[in-house]
Amino acid sequence: MRILNAVAITGGVALVGSFYFVGSADAGKGPAPKANICHFDGDTETFSLINISSNALNAHLDNHGDVYPGAWYVDGDGDGFGAGGSDAVSCPGAGLIDNNGDTDDADASVNPNAPEVCGDGIDNDSDGSIDEDCAPTSNCPVYGGTDCYWLGFNGSVGEWCWEPATWASSESQCKNLDSCSQSGGGASGGGCYKWSPSSEGPGSWN
């Protein structure tokens, strides 16, 4: 900047007559670099991405409630986890969250903190696996009631299954029959026997 008849230069401000010209003591080094920041609007209580001089960055962060840009994702079901595979936006806002680990953002019961529900065919905990750590499913018939049960191979389903041993009329008679080993296959008819005192049938044994 050309200044005529300057009588003093203080802090980059030259006084010429009754006019002030604002200059820079670092003229010639170029403008300060720019930076993106999420600027908070107190009237609308929303953030918007703006580009400012890096010299003003600290003032925005300390005084305006602004924040650095990040990666924010839509949380459609409100479970605290953003939709996996969704595009991120730079600034926070209503309905946005800073992670994208949810494999079903339309169902709040599906998210990385949810328990896995066995047998429903859904990846409840969003870990990429279905029904992990669940007991294997069985095609065996299900029976209930306190009774004697026989463990034998059920050819129609291709599994070892518990079937009511209707020929054992009492608990003592049932217990006097073959005892079951862990692998099954007792002496009587290729199976084994145990008494269930539970109304749920096989699963709780004497």
Pairwise pLDDT comparison (138 vs 112), residue with the higher score: 112
Mean pLDDT of the 173-184 span: 60
The confidence score (pLDDT) of residue 119 equals 76
Give the integer Cα–Cα distance in Å for 61 and 153: 72
> pLDDT tens digits for 36-95?
999 999 999 999 999 999 899 889 999 889 999 999 999 999 999 999 888 899 999 999
Q: Measure Cα distances from 105 to 20, 127, 152 in Å.
A: 60, 14, 45
Angle at the Cα of 102 (from 47 to 69), degrees rounded to 5? 25
How many Cα atoms within 13 Å fall on the side-chain side of residue 93? 18
Pick from 49, 47, 46: nearest CA to 35: 49
Give the integer Cα–Cα distance in Å for 8 and 32: 26
The confidence score (pLDDT) of residue 184 equals 43
The confidence score (pLDDT) of residue 13 equals 32
DSSP three-state, residue 159: strand
